[in-house]
Chain A
């Protein structure tokens, strides 16, 4: 892994596979034990810096850090000095003075995690930046699909709903395609970002398109971001055309949703309570995957440093001239 996880594009397919293997083998098992804690990040400090409301992402990062034995501090914008007018830069400089090892940032503006990375020595993990991306959600979704389907190559996924406002859609289009999956975006034209075709996904309007896919990925209708922009004639009309229920699903089709769900808007109540959705498996996966990410970001950095030091030592040794050593063979 790189020093930071700012975008799903920071990871190669092999790196994704390797992180998810770590999550499956080490961290799913951990959650089923009586003692749900390992000493791996003992003494490390993780700061979760959240400028937007969040339940599952923030609890999941907090618990992931604690189960790795790190010291975890949660900073919520609404109850911090941000309310007193402190800029993001000054908040980060202040927190950086505690020498954290990882800063997890959720922010309403695209690019905030990269900005944070400029002012801290810590590893920065993007936990959602405006409409930008949500790489850890993407990884946990790929993980959930792998657990359910096994092989991802050629798997067909429809991402349905408010794609315009969705950072999850942006990360997942990229991440799913990277894993060899085929992606179709299903939404009214007004809820698709301009130029979205360039991301390599097919476009469809109307739920008929669900007949051709293996997986249905629903997005929350982000009404708080619509700001009366006139994107839909009415919510009722959207529901009539795009609310997904069990009647839209074929045999073996599974439904994912990043949460929080709006019952009766993008998902009907019956489907929300049906075992055909993998929503709670996604939450469980989220914990294991975030533990794997934090573990790997720290371990890989240590290994890179050791490799660099090793190379430097080797270069110094070469300069110093050949050294003669006797090897004692054991008989």
Chain B
């Protein structure tokens, strides 16, 4: 017998505050906002990047370019065990693809994703970015760091550190796609 349980670990208002805090931190770290651009990893990273950008514009009074990055062609598990996630994405593929409406050369790019786990997605995203140009630096902002890194990758801006076990899942829900903001911990329970 097995079932699954899920519980809210970060409620909506706290998600909003965390995003605001990350926006402040990005501005604090990067004095020259003119060189800055945000690139969100599809799907939820892209929504987060838009929110961060609008907060940053509000605080700094200057527009920050935002792009979206689809990393599916850069994954390291194509046709390997574990590519089931790709499969489920492919049978109902996203209609949105990469969209970088600005030149990334010599820019400071802040990659944005919802959950940092093994680090493989970020590795793929960095590879993808380099096919579009040569940014002067790349920083990483994530809403949740759940640990279990398999690559030497660390975030520059973290919303929440949530220690998890391997078979748990962290689901970030955002109002743009999911109706409401929430961070949920899900676990398969073996009885």
Contact = CB atoms under 8 A, between A and B. Distances in A.
B90 interface: yes
A296 B90 CA distance: 8
A328 B162 CA distance: 12
Interface residues of A, number: 36
B35 interface: no
A22 B82 CA distance: 20
Interface in B78-137: 78-84, 86-87, 90-98, 127, 131-132
Contacts of A299: 78-79, 83, 86-87, 90
Contacts, number: 99
A175 B64 CA distance: 46
A215 B44 CA distance: 40
A322 interface: yes
B33 to A, nearest CB: 27
Contacts of B185: 329-330
B98 A29 contact: yes
A324 B2 CA distance: 10
Contacts of A324: 190-191
Given A26-B72, A322-B1, A327-B165, A302 B95 contact: no
B98 A306 contact: no
Interface string B165-191: 101100000000000000001011111
Interface residues of B, number: 43
Contacts of A302: 77-81, 83
Contact residues of B: prevailing secondary structure: loop
B43 interface: no
A35 interface: yes
Nearest to A44: B79
Contacts of B7: 329
Nearest to A69: B73
A306 B77 CA distance: 11
Given A21-B95, A306-B84, 16 more contacts: A18-B92, A24-B95, A25-B95, A33-B131, A37-B131, A295-B73, A298-B78, A298-B79, A299-B79, A299-B87, A299-B90, A302-B81, A306-B83, A307-B84, A327-B188, A330-B163
Interface of A: 14, 18, 21-22, 24-26, 29, 33, 35, 37-41, 295-296, 298-303, 305-307, 309-310, 322-325, 327-330
Interface of B: 1, 5, 7, 9, 70, 72-75, 77-84, 86-87, 90-98, 127, 131-132, 162-165, 167-168, 185, 187-191
